[in-house]
A = this chain, B = another copy of it.
Amino acid sequence: MKIYIAQLNYKIGDFKNNAKKIISEIEKAKEKKVDIVLFSELAICGYPPEDFLLFDNFLDQMQNELNKICLVCRDICVVLGTVRRNDFGEKRLCNSAVIIIDQKIIGYKDKTLLPTYDVFDERRYFDSNEKQVVFEYKKKRVGILICEDLWEHTKVLTHVKYKLDPVEEIKKLNPDVVLNLSASPYYFKKQDLRINIFSKVSKYLSCSLIICNQVGANDQLVFDGNSMYFDRGNLKSSLEKFKEDFFLVDLNQTYNNLEIQSDPIEDLYNALVLGVKDYFKKQNLKKAVIGLSGGIDSAMVLCIAKEALGKENILSLNMPSRFSSLGSMEDSHKICENLDINLLDIPIDHVFQNYLDLLAPIFNKKPFDTTEENLQARIRGMILMAVSNKNGYVVLSTGNKSEMALGYVTLYGDMCGGLSVLLDVLKTQVYKLAKYVNRKKEIIPKEIIEKEPSAELKENQKDIDDLPNYEIVDNVLISYIEDHLSIKEIIKKYSYDDIIVNDLIKKIHLAEYKRRQNPIGIRVSKKSFTKGRYFPIVQGFVK
């Protein structure tokens, strides 16, 4: 039996084009005499469709496209993720796999385990169905599971303990092969976890396990593809990461075991590139403008943007004020030379002085404070937005996760933009990414990497004057944000000073109102801002 894995990149609700892609793969598969074609979860509409699912006409169009897809399925079996209307459940819909054989829908397998945590909210829309499905096709017993259905078996999930393990249930039905339709987004080092789980499940089922994952970025979520084929616990094939890819599994053929070597920082970089690329491409946008500070974050965003959009589509601005160092300006010029990207100099000091004069009666001789710092950042934000509005560029904002967590950013200043590229990348990870970017030759000047982080918004400012060093900051952030450790537990784990830890946690909650106004960011960690993490702004727990 030949099973064709079609790892595709879908745009949410773009039914005609999504269906066209699907149909084109079915045609290709037919030429290759394939028996079954496997697509990913919610393929027709793309994952996640969110509240579009509340519109009847959205569901109707999905059904129309499904009907069209059926027509091309002569002499072939297609397993495809779609939404099934479910008139008798608590929710009106099921997240389903439709099984089409020879142009007819022969049945559905509804998803059993509906993730409703972190970035997932499937219980908002879908009803669970506990029934497991195995169908016979060309003398093979083919089982179907949808994404999360695989994940309870190895008990790796935290904060959720499903009552039912679909893997255990499907084993009772003696499948020869189990197909899994996934829309499993990337996060840092998730691949190891996946291989571990899939391998165990395939071993337990003692059969073939074929996972087809979605690829491509939809808003915050980056789906890394990386679909896989396992046989009795052994990885046999692994599809490309971060791009569309296809693979034909022949169950009658013997495959060597596959060992995967991967560099998590390379994956992280590629995830960010794909996040930027799809944000633009799927909106028919082309051009980006980036404000360069001479620091490592904006340098990194420039590298990512060039890779995603091409150098001809990038404009960078250098906007010095009286506090900008000569070094920073030189460094900005140097990286733009290295990347062959246009750089415009727009000094802001005159406008800055203008504001100071205008506001003098209100400031009333109060000393220089963050107000004046913010003014500079906001003037830069305004200039970026003016360039954006007049010439059709999208502003890419450059703040990293560490500073966004602590509110060490200016609302309406450096937070301006359509997409916040590094929102989910810790400062210590930005340095690792820089090393990766420079692996063959120096792209990011070493001066940028080696200088002490500074916003340069007042005389001799250094991040370290306001914050602990970023290694401490990032350890605390991971412990608190990803692992939900309490302040006490963090202090115990790292032997950090309790005043420092308390202050950092307090800052995280005080900055909640700022982060709510951040552009969406590309999610690359287990717990990101702007999707999957929900805290009240007004609260009395962390004081």
Residue of B351, B390, B484 touching A362 (CB-CB under 8 A): B390
Q: Is the CB of A386 within 8 A of B412?
A: no
A263 at interface, CB cutoff 8 A: no
Q: Whose C-beta in chain B lies nearest to the C-beta of A87?
A: B161
Contact between A385 and B359 (Cβ–Cβ < 8 Å)?
A: no
Q: Across the interface, which residues of B come within 8 angstroms of A159, CB to CB?
A: 54, 91-92
A382 at the binding interface (Cβ < 8 Å) = yes
User: Are B390 and A385 touching (Cβ within 8 A)?
Assistant: no
Tell me whether A374 and B389 are in contact in the complex, defined as CB-CB below 8 angstroms, given that A12-B540, A54-B484, A534-B50 are known contacts. Answer: yes
A161 / chain B contacts, CB cutoff of 8 Å: 89-90, 92
Chain B residues with CB below 8 A from A539, complex form: 11-14, 52
Instruction: Say yes or no for A399: interface residue by CB 8 A criterion.
Output: no
A162→B90 contact, CB < 8 A: yes
The size class of the interface chain A forms with chain B is 35 or more
Contact with B along A92-118 (1 / 0, CB 8 A): 100000000000000000000000110
A310 within 8 A of B: no
CA distance A518 to B362 in the complex (A): 26
A312: Cβ under 8 A from any B Cβ = no
The verdict on A378 contacting B387 (CB below 8 Å), with A90-B160, A91-B159 known, is no
- The residues in A between 255 and 276 inclusive whose CB is less than 8 angstroms from any CB of B are none
The reply to whether the CB of A135 lies closer than 8 angstroms to some CB of chain B is no
* Residues B219 and A163 in contact, CB atoms below 8 Å apart: no
Q: What CA separation (Å) do A123 and B121 show in the bound complex?
A: 9
Q: List, in ascending order, chain B residues with CB within 8 A of A486's CB.
A: 55-57
Proximity bits, A396-415, B CB within 8 Å = 1, else 0: 00000000000000011000
> Known contacts A278-B538, A536-B49, A538-B12: does B355 contact A351 (CB below 8 Å)?
yes
User: Of B11, B48, B348, B416, which is within 8 A of A540 by CB?
Assistant: B11
Indicate if A381 sits at the interface (CB-CB under 8 A): yes
Say yes or no: is A516 at the interface (Cβ < 8 Å to chain B).
Answer: yes
- Which residue of B279, B351, B518 contacts A358 across the interface (Cβ within 8 Å)? B351
- Judged by a CB distance under 8 angstroms, whether A51 is at the interface is yes
Complex Cα spacing A366 to B392, Å: 13
Residues of B within 8 A of A116 (CB): 116, 121, 123-124
Is the pair A538, B283 in contact by a Cβ cutoff of 8 Å?
yes
Residue among A61, A90, A279, A520 having the largest count of chain B Cβ atoms under 10 Å: A90
Which residues does chain B contribute within 8 Å of A369, judged by CB atoms?
Answer: 389-390
Interface residues of A in 355-394 (CB under 8 A from B): 355, 358-359, 362-363, 366, 369-371, 374-375, 378-379, 381-383, 385-387, 389-391
**Residue A535 at the chain B interface, CB threshold 8 Å:** yes
A374 CA / B534 CA spacing, docked (Å): 31
Q: Provide the residues of chain B in CB contact with A163, threshold 8 Å.
A: 89-90
Does A519 lie at the interface of the complex (its beta carbon under 8 Å from any beta carbon of B)?
Answer: yes
Q: Which residues of B contact A17 (CB under 8 A)?
A: 540
Q: Does A513 contact B (CB under 8 A)?
A: yes
Q: How far is the CA of A354 from the CA of B385 in the complex (A)?
A: 16
| A137 interface residue per 8 A CB criterion | no
Find A385's partner among B383, B412, B418 (CB 8 Å cutoff): B412
A390 to chain B, nearest CB (A): 4
A535 & B52 in contact (Cβ 8 Å cutoff): yes
CA distance A54 to B385 in the complex (A): 38
Q: How far is the CB of A285 from chain B (nearest CB, A)?
A: 10
Report which A residues bind B (CB closer than 8 A): 11-15, 17-18, 48-52, 54-58, 61, 89-92, 116-117, 121, 123-124, 159-163, 218-219, 278-279, 282-283, 344, 346, 348, 350-351, 354-355, 358-359, 362-363, 366, 369-371, 374-375, 378-379, 381-383, 385-387, 389-391, 411-412, 416, 418, 484, 486, 488, 513, 516-520, 530, 533-542
- Given contacts A57-B488, A121-B534, A378-B382, 8 further A-B pairs with CB under 8 A are A12-B539, A55-B486, A92-B159, A92-B161, A351-B351, A354-B354, A355-B383, A513-B519
